[in-house]
Structure 1
């Protein structure tokens, strides 16, 4: 397994461990950190393995961080409707 896929798996494990810990801000601080670290990992996976696997890793990350994605899509839809 390549380094980029190992990093993506470690990111997923870290995200799941963080989700199990109690949080006062509903895990938003953890989500910001995971997004900051996850975007370069997605780029690295895409660079090493191509766009299809990069897209699959991105979808996996979006399924873990679904609430930031939902709020972003609501924000974009609200900006487009106005």
Structure 2
């Protein structure tokens, strides 16, 4: 197994734990935008294997709410992986 696969698996496990704990629940009123993914598509976007714009165009990522707010914050949520 490649090192990147191990990092991706670890990242995915950490995200599942975070989401399962309800630690990131938003309590400040109505959010500007929400993102919806299937598990596999989320991992692809989070690990940089799928571009966020391409995910949206293919229907792999769905945005509910303000599209302009989602576009504004997408680079902060899903930063591009560093090239080494």
The alignment's TM-score, normalised by the length of structure 1, stands at: 0.35
Flag the structure with higher helix content.
1
TM-score, normalised relative to structure 2: 0.35
